[in-house]
Amino acid sequence: MKTTRFLLPFMHGVDKFAIEQAILLAKSHHATLIPLVLIHVPEGCRKTGVRLEYMQQSMDFLETVKHKAYWHSVQIERLEVFTSDIVQSINLVASEMECEGVLLLINQKGGVLLQVDQIKSIIEMPPCKIYIIHLTAVQSKSFVQAVRSSISRLFSGGNVRQGDRMQDQEYLVEEAELPTKA
């Protein structure tokens, strides 16, 4: 039986909510999540090494994914790649790992975990299915407002979902249509 795999590429900005949404999408598809850390090393700078902050972000991302995946009972296969071509590396890993899809996250400000230009390049030449997760921040409520809102729903007969983090955030997942190869 072939394992369904989703690739979650990361380059910058550890966003716990975005990571959790990717994990939940993988869980809903009974898929293994492959968090792929891409550490950019420019061609001419291979000898000087990588900045310490990039290594720290990489470790933070992988640990966050590990803990959230464990919490939601999602299998992961962690990868770390040093590369001078981010998009090519994503396409290569997606192909080699036989991924069902690549998860790309965006919000109003732009790309989450990857830069917008990298996301556009992946969409233009997709290695497999592309899943675009739109993260939309709703104005956050104060603690008192959240409690009042919950109590109001209880008394008005509305449903209050246990552990509902979606009251503060909403997301939408699209499965991008891929161009057929001739």
In a domain, 85, yes or no: yes
**Structural domain contains residue 161:** no
Average pLDDT over residues 126-136: 91
User: Does 153 map to a domain?
Assistant: no
How far is Cα 39 from Cα 61, in angstroms, rounded to an integer?
12
Is the predicted pLDDT of residue 113 greater than 50, yes or no? Answer: yes
Are 38 and 8 spatial neighbours (Cβ–Cβ below 8 Å)? no
User: What type of residue is 147?
Assistant: V
Which domain covers residue 68, as residue numbers? 5-138+166-176
Q: Give pLDDT, residue 9.
A: 98
Position 106, amino acid: I
Does residue 63 lie in a domain region? yes
DSSP three-state, residue 50? coil
Does a structural domain hold residue 58? yes
- The total domain count for the chain is 1
Please report whether residue 24 resides in a domain.
yes
Asked, for residue 150, whether it belongs to a domain, the answer is: no
Domain-embedded: residue 151: no
- Sequence-separated (6 or more) residues with CB below 8 Å from residue 131: 6, 25, 101, 102, 103, 104, 173, 174, 175, 176
pLDDT at 17: 94
We report the CATH number of the domain holding residue 88 as 3.40.50.620
The neighbouring-strand residues paired with 107 are 110
In terms of Cβ atoms closer than 10 Å to its own Cβ (0-12, 13-18, 19+), residue 171 is middle
Which amino acid, one-letter code, is at 115?
Answer: Q
Type of residue found at 170? E
pLDDT digits over 28-81, tens only? 999 999 999 999 888 766 566 667 778 899 999 999 999 999 999 999 999 999
